[in-house]
Amino acid sequence: MTEKEKVKNGLLYNPNKDQELITERNSCKDKCYEYNKIQPTKLKARELKIKDILKEVGKNYLIEQPFFCDYGYNIKIGDNFYANHNLIILDATDIIIGDNVFIGPNCGIYAAGHPIDYITRNKGIEYAKPITIGNNVWIGGNVCILPGVKIGDNVVIGAGSVVNKDIPSNSVAVGSPCIVKKQLK
């Protein structure tokens, strides 16, 4: 089984021992570099480059520069998507983002993680768990979303939160760790 196959099967893998993963990651990083160098007012050129980077994009989207991701081909964004400056997505596996999602500046969405056991971690081994963000979600600035998290529909995540567990639909959640503070009707 290749390291890429291990990722898709939810197993531990080494991203630096698979030439296919290395090549794909480097290609994506080159594309992100190109995207980040496009003049901000050249919206059509930016839109086309994002389509070249991501697996799937909906209608009406804007990702402010700079933007970084690992592979791009694991990321799907829905309609009416906006991400403010400095979004980082570690997309070793699927990251699905719904419609009408707004992301504040300096946010990270991290599907990749590392084992707690230092002996395993020091071998360069990591894991990846999919992340899902529902529809009508507002994510405040400086939010960190960790591997395996599902955020429901109609959710607000407060600025500075570390989302390490699922957040149910129709709620406001905040904190480190992020917890539901209020249910919305």
As beta bridge partners, residue 101 has 137
- Domains, the chain, in order of start with CATH, read 3-183 (2.160.10.10)
Backbone phi and psi for residue 27, each to the nearest 5 degrees, phi listed first: -60, -45
The pLDDT assigned to 48 comes to 97
Q: Which helix (H) or strand (E) holds 35?
A: helix 19-37
Catalytic-residue membership of 114:
yes
Q: Which one of 55, 114, 129, 150 is the catalytic residue?
A: 114
The pLDDT assigned to 65 comes to 98
Pairing, β 108-110 against β 144-145: parallel
Residues in the chain, pLDDT under 70: none
Between CA 108 and CA 110 the distance in angstroms is 6
Rounded to two decimals, the pTM is 0.96
Residue 170 near residue 153, CB atoms below 8 Å: yes
The pLDDT assigned to 73 comes to 98
Q: Which amino acid is at 34?
A: E
The pLDDT assigned to 185 comes to 80
Q: How many residues does the chain have?
A: 185
Between CA 21 and CA 23 the distance in angstroms is 5
Angle at 156 between CA 151 and CA 157, to 5 degrees: 75
The pLDDT assigned to 144 comes to 98
